[in-house]
Amino acid sequence: MGDSAYLKKFVENHPKNKMAWYLLGKEYEASGQTGKARYCYIQAGGVYEAFEASKIPEDLWMGYKADLLQETKQREKRSRFLRKLGIALLIALVVIGHPSAYAPSEKTAEPATAGLQDEPGAETDPAVPDAKPATPPGKAPAKAGSAGSADAVKGPVFTAQGYAFGKAKAGAEALGGLIDLQNRTGAPILNAVVLGMEREGDYLLWTDGMPVVYELEQNPDQGTTTIQSYDAEACRCTPPDASGLQAAAERWIPYQESLGVLASAMQRYKEGTGAWPTGLDDLTGPFPDNWLAGSDPVMVKTFGPLLKRLQNAAGSGAAGQPSANSDAVKDSLAPEEQPYFSEPFEIIVDKKTHVLAVVSGDKLIRSYPVGLGGDRTPEGSFAISDKVINPNGRDNGEFGSRGMQLSDTNYAIHGTNDPDSIGKDESLGCIRMGKKDVEELFDLAPKGTKVTIGKGILPDLESVPKERFKLGHREDQTNPHRVYHWLN
């Protein structure tokens, strides 16, 4: 039990590190303290189940313990520890097949916490039925497991993950993303790819240029798994050409944005009406029923299965809505059609930085410069109650081409005929945006979208894609029956 003191200290400092709990349990079990061992195994959760149910050699998890103890004794070697542990996590990926996210006939992705790392809030829970040793990044082979099953997904399948570019712990973060991706799919993934997201403050930046940072390939015929890092600094290797993967990723990104907007509109519709939409037409009607500004082929294709997914997540379909087994709702989302964003889109406005952002949880999807009114711009929580095209009856009026009213107030997010006021406090309280920005926001933010206004809550940055998000199939979203008098 000479190591138990170090392990106990480690789990006290890092209670979410499930591997540490597992190793401490093994120490207690070896010394005959079965009660304490059982408690540790309960805390270890899926890690205990994965290791106990597998045929992993004892020297492998003993190697985990040795690294962990070294971490506790010598904090200065923390980066190396994280890299080793992160690579070891890929063991879990080799044999399993759980839920994931894809893009049509491309690859897809889902967010994840970094694997076995000791960063605040990080949690390790591979929950793997059979795990076998894998090898470090840089095209190194390892034995593959059940990836050869008939329902295996060829991929490539993408996920986006926070990534510390050029740093040792980057590998642990990326591999944690691969494990989360595997945990989200309905079948083993033969080719999984991680896109790297930079961090700014509390947010991970979702952009159209997220680079490929890691790739996993499994070959059931040869019984091998290949792990490739595309970050030359982190892996100290010369990565192969990633242009093909990058091109596929750039098609997957807007696909996921469409799914995120559609899912957000469905949930806001349910909140606003008390019932789920029965069809896309419920969301894309003319003003004031324009929960969505329009639609696109992705939304047309995925409406039914996405509705079923949201209903199941909420517990059951509402009365009068199509059941999960009805013809109106297809069986379920195919792996390549599963959404990446797990939370509805929201708008955040920072009065200090003069930035408006669209976010989903900790993912910052867009950020734009805005004009405000200083103390005249209210702070607090609101919701978009009206979405109007050409609120002045033309696209070059004082409110520009788009307007989104904030709850039942005289404040709105709208365009402007005074673009020089962007970034300044010259309005009477409303939020002014440039023409391209407000038109993209109009399509990204469904009616009912939550809006939070405060100070010091966003990083000072502008993040817009080369190709703006734009919906088609629009109904009439003007409102000729009202003259708007927002506090411009």
Phi, psi (deg, nearest 5) at residue 361: 65, -125
- Per residue in 23-52, pLDDT (tens digit) is 888 888 888 888 888 899 888 887 777 666
Mean of per-residue pLDDT scores for the chain = 78
**Which residues on adjacent β-strands are paired with residue 414?**
403, 432
235 is catalytic: no
Q: What CA–CA distance (Å, rounded) separates 300 from 189?
A: 26
Higher pLDDT, 369 or 87: 369
Which helix H or strand E contains 94, and what residues bound it?
helix 78-95
Residue 286 has pLDDT above 90, yes or no: yes
- Per residue in 101-133, pLDDT (tens digit) is 333 333 333 332 222 233 333 333 322 223 233
Q: Is 74 within 8 Å of 116 (Cβ atoms)?
A: no
Q: How much of the chain exceeds pLDDT 70, in percent?
A: 72
From 14, 235, 430, 481, the catalytic residue: 430
Residue 178 has pLDDT above 80, yes or no: no
From 14, 98, 354, 414, the catalytic residue: 414
List the domain boundaries for the chain.
3-51, 157-240, 272-311+333-487
Q: What number does CATH give the domain 272-311+333-487?
A: 2.40.440.10
For residue 75, the model assigns a pLDDT of 44
Higher pLDDT, 283 or 118: 283
Of 254, 258, 259, 191, the C-alpha closest to 228 is 191
CA 33 to chain centre: 41
Classify residue 464 as exposed, middle or buried by CB count within 10 Å of its CB (0-12, 13-18, 19+): middle
Q: What CA–CA distance (Å, rounded) separates 378 from 435?
A: 23
